[in-house]
Structure 1
Amino acid sequence: MAGTDTTRTTTSELAVLEAGLDALETVPVRRTPWREILWRKVLPPVTAVIVVLAVWKLLVLAHVTDDYKLPDPSAVWHSLRQLWLNGTLFDIIWTSVSRGLLGFLAALAIGTPLGLLVARVPFVRAALGPVLSGLQSLPSVAWVPAAVIWLGITDAAMYAVILLGAVPSIANGLVSGIDQVPPLYLRAGRTLGATGVLGARYVLLPAALPGYLAGLKQGWAFSWRSLMAAELIASSPDLGLGLGQYLENARTDSDMPGVLLGIILILFVGIAIDLAVFSPLERRVLRTRGLAAGR
């Protein structure tokens, strides 16, 4: 009887412990009230924009420099309104965004298998690892002259610059993520028959997702910066009017409101892509790992 009681007690304690561990692993999910969303997500950036505009207006009123160097915010708004009335605003933005997204998707298709090879094949890592790190530190604008000579002032040159800027970041991000995968996961996957392509799909990539996602964010940043550098330097009417070429045209015309508007639009697109695509993905990945319950 004593042995039976002891066994029951042990079983009960194990059940309580298991339930406690399950409770710890469970991430509470609740619907965030609109008031909290406005307070935490909307109000801070809106306040920052208002502060920047106020400081800008004060500097203009204080005449810290000539008007043609620092125009009034209303002049920039007028330039934006003219683009809107002319029906060219969205065309300019879409010309650059479509190039950037297509180039990023191509870089994703190349950088992902390349990162897997570098991470899992020692010879490839020894041969290409330092090259990828060097390419990642090389400014993308350095590739523009070479791409123009190789491919001419064409869309192909734009995409080549994007690929050379984004592929190393995506590959290195995946390599970093795979390096942090516990070896136990790989052994468990092999035990279950997940080897080769199946192991990469069902074990390596899901386990390395946080590092991989960081590489994707950096890859998009490199894609966008590379494209803007290419459009600024290799501008041509045959390429269509994108944000980089709009910025260069404004500089040529000494149109400072247009220059500032171009900078603001480039910044706006970069922030919008991050907020609409990468930030939700990052929150979802972290939340599934119990790391972002309070975000």
Structure 2
Amino acid sequence: MTSIDLKVESIEAPAERIRSVVLVSAGGDALPPYEAGAHMEFHLPDGTTRSYSLIDFEGDCAAPKSYRFGIRLEEESTGGSSYMHGLGEGDTVTADAPKNDFPLATDDAPSLLIAGGIGITPMISMAAALKSAGRPYSLHYAMRDRSAAAFTGRLAELHGDRVSLHFDDEAGGPLDLSGLVEGAEEGAHLYVCGPKPMIEAARSAAEAAGLPSGRIHFELFDAPADQEGDTAFEVEIASSGKVYTIPPGRSIIDVLEEDGEDLIYDCQRGDCGICQTDVLEGEPDHRDVVLSEEERAGGKVMQICVSRARSARLKLDL
């Protein structure tokens, strides 16, 4: 993956705990283009990476002069969000070239865009692309309250009544996902980006409404979190017979890759499906948002970036 050196051109604070960071090429070179829904992986000083979605308000991603990101400062963050919030104008960062695991469908069917909190960032680019292409769409943006409302003025200016805002505190509860999905136009694509509970609720609503899986698209903005009671378990590699112990706080990918196993993965949040692996023996503890309820119950596949084990050992087809 090609890396790019970028310089901070400007920083704004569009909402509580959110920074809008605009980056330009550190060397004055042309920036690689990208498509709506794309993200970039930033290299942190501790050697890890964090991904953030690109924001394109006007549909300029084919020839960008800068890259814009919206980053929410996570509670007690010591990782990507605290690093990004600590940047100042003129600072330089390194990131991989844009890539897209959350693309828009290429047909002309209507698009129902639903965002929760900072999950609005890829949806901004999607709305811009759909508007430029003259394709039908609506954007529903849910926030806990008005202090968390980032980019709402610009969105209203650009998209008018195609944008609907929802504030949990004023509405007396969360967005009515079932109502939105049931009221979607026939043949519509559903795009949802936000925290895991929103995605799981939207998936349930979409499945209940009979939407085909090919028209349901998700991107998760929660980082994988440890759960109380997590314990160590073993993973056996079918091709070699090697057995690894996966301790609490580390993923299967972390442990296997550290030992040199060649793995294919991307998001490490459980929403892209690239790391999906067949389970030959054992019972997975599913923590992704990719699999259907039927697939989870079957226990034959799992996303090894976030999911763990209910059994003492898993035998994986690797």
Q: What TM-score, normalized to structure 2?
A: 0.20
Tell me which protein shows more helix as a share of its residues: 1
Q: What TM-score, normalized to structure 1?
A: 0.21
Determine which structure has more spread, i.e. the larger CA radius of gyration.
1
Tell me which protein shows more strand as a share of its residues: 2
